Amino acid sequence: MRVIIAAAGTGGHINPGLAIANKIKEKEKDSEIIFIGTTRGLENDLVPRAGYKLKTIEAYGLSKQISISNLKKMYKTLKGFGEAKKIIKEFKPDVVIGTGGYICGATITSAHKLNIPTVLHESNAFPGKAVKMLAKKTDKIFVSFKDAIERIPNANKIIFTGTPVKIRKKEYGLNEKEKIVKDMGLNLLKPIVLIFGGSQGAQKINEAIVGIIEKKLNSKYQIIWATGPKQYDIIKGELEDRKIKITNIENTKIVPYIYNMEEIMNISNLIIARSGAMTVTEIANLGKPSILIPLPNVSGNHQLYNAKVLEDIGAANIILNNELEAESLNEKIESIILNKKVEKQMGEKALKISTTNVEEKIYKEIKELVGKK
């Protein structure tokens, strides 16, 4: 199978594309797969690192405001349509797959005009503008959340698949779990709260956690906190200003980044995070209770809709970014992890919307589409 995958910008767009590519390669080792992205996003690191070739075109999100900058972006984006068409004609794919970012407009539209089968994967509960605009041109749309289906009008065919994620639910023995916790400098005597804000960190979350630590509010639970590499030194300085040494805080382990995230998420009692589509999917698949702080000012407020998927079934609590502060966050934490019945019920409810065999489902749908070509 010859495949082009359009994915650009963030890991939330690119990683599902890589997961789909890996599944196709697993099933059909002779497949030829290339990615189309921009010169600006994480695809320039993640795609080559995964062993795939990346072609780049011009593509930008367009604003309704009239300005010289927007006019330049519009010109470059229109130019990108021609660049995408040229790549597609030269590569001659059997299918073109879009997994997110501004890049999808040019690639899916160009493939459609060339009568090449197309599919889109929408990770968020509230679909982006590109997916809505391309719905009529796309042969199949895969969605991560059932809530998204009714929000994509005029689509040819929508299939609920879930989002491909690396993290899976695992049951660890007592000795295994104790080693994981001990390696973080903690113990099994108190519940563990995992806190992260994505690879770049999240300033508002970080401020609230600093407040919890400074006031020693977490005496009844332990914290594993990934600040994000760009925030770690800032947090270290803020704590030092309060006469607190970042490497020696009771009931707390602070790191820039967690490399064994699957292990840490599995052994944690509660997860506090932003509500990107992949994070919400991972939390559901692990069956963990969560406190979600949606990232504000994102397109379509999609993180809030993602978080509501879990909140609406009683599996999560949402705190809006501008309402986040140390005392109220601590109260929510304690209301969950100090009540084993609540913690268990929330986890079980999250597990009800977990998805399995996502890559397999997507591969079968793509294979069926290519077979009709």
Q: Residues 95-114: pLDDT tens digits?
A: 999 997 788 999 999 999 99
Q: For residue 280, give the 3-state DSSP assignment.
A: helix
pLDDT exceeds 90 at position 199: no
**Average pLDDT rounded to a whole number, residues 177-191:** 96
Mean pLDDT throughout 333-342? 98
Contact by Cβ (8 Å): 121, 28: no
pLDDT tops 80 at residue 198? no
**Rounded Cα gap, residues 246 and 275, in angstroms:** 27
Per residue in 204-230, pLDDT (tens digit) is 898 899 999 999 999 999 999 999 888
Burial of 176 (0-12, 13-18, 19+ CB in 10 A): middle
With CA atoms as reference, report the closest residue to 264 among 356, 333, 170. 170
Residue 61 has pLDDT above 70, yes or no: no
Q: What is the pLDDT of residue 12?
A: 84
What b/e string do you get for 51-67 counting C-beta neighbours within 10 Å, with b at 16 or more? ebebbbbbbbeeeeeee
Q: 251 and 280 in contact (C-beta within 8 Å)?
A: no
Closest CA to 277 of 19, 4, 3: 19
Q: What is the pLDDT of residues 11-30, one digit of tens each?
A: 888 999 999 999 999 999 99
pLDDT at 144 over 90: yes
Residues of the chain above pLDDT 70, percent = 93
Question: Is the predicted pLDDT of residue 70 greater than 70, yes or no?
Answer: no
Greater confidence (252 vs 199) lies with: 252
- Reported as type and span, the H/E element at residue 34 is strand 32-37
Average pLDDT of the segment spanning 56-63: 72
What would the pLDDT profile of 322-336 be if each residue is shown by its tens digit?
999 999 999 999 999
Helix (H, G, I), strand (E, B) or coil at 14: helix
Q: In the chain, list all ranges with CATH 3.40.50.2000.
A: 2-163+356-371, 174-351
Q: Is 71 a residue whose pLDDT tops 70? A: no
Mean pLDDT, the chain, rounded, equals 91
2-163+356-371: CATH topology is Rossmann fold (3.40.50)
Q: What is the mean pLDDT of residues 324-351?
A: 97
Question: Any idea which of 56-65, 100-109, 338-347 has the lowest mean pLDDT?
Answer: 56-65
Averaged pLDDT, 152-170: 91
174-351 fold: Rossmann fold (3.40.50)
Examine the pLDDT at 59 and tell me if it is beyond 80. no
Over 60: is that where the pLDDT of 239 sits?
Answer: yes
In which residue are the tokens 């719905």 written? 135
Band (pLDDT 50/70/90 cuts) for residue 262 is very high
pLDDT band at 373 (very low <50, low <70, confident <90, very high): low
Q: Please give the model's pTM, rounded to 2 decimal places.
A: 0.88
